[in-house]
Amino acid sequence: MGLFSKLFGSNPQAGRVTAPAEQAVLLHLDSAELHDVAELENQLISIIDKQQLGEFDGNEFGADEVTLFMYGPDAEKLFAAIAPTLKAHRLGRKGIAIIRMGPPGATERRVDLDAD
C-alpha cells in the first residue's frame, strides 16, 4: 500500500456516511419586501431550531414569488410546526406549500395556504 493510499485510503467511499433522504417543505409565496421575508424566515428558523425539526436552507427570489426551503427527517411534522406561524404572518397566508416526502421526484402534497 502506497503512502497516498495509507493517508487517504484505497476506497474513496470508505468512511463516508450516507444520510437518510431528507424530506422537504417548500413555501412558494407572493414576492414581497425583503424585510417582510426576513422577518418570516427568522420566525421559521426559530421554530425549526427550537423543536429540532431540521434546517431552514434559504430562499430564492423570482420576479413574482419567493421560495423558502426547509429540510428535515419528517416533512409533515415540520409543516405542522410552522403552519400556525404561516397563518399568523401576512406573507404566510398566501401562496402554496409543497410537502415532499423525500428527494426531488418523491411523493409530495400541495397545501394552498390561502384556502383557510
pLDDT of 44-79, one tens digit each?
Answer: 999 999 999 999 999 999 888 899 999 999 999 999
Distance separating alpha carbons of residues 25 and 112, to the nearest angstrom:
13
Say how far residue 73 (Cα) sits from the centre of its chain. 10
Better pLDDT: 22 or 33: 22
Domains of the chain: 20-112 (3.30.70)
For residue 116, what pLDDT is reported? 53
Q: What is the mean pLDDT of the chain?
A: 83
Strand blocks (E) in the chain = 23-30, 55-61, 65-72, 96-100, 108-112
The pLDDT value recorded for residue 14 is 45
C-alpha distance from residue 91 to each of 35, 37, 38 (Å): 11, 7, 11
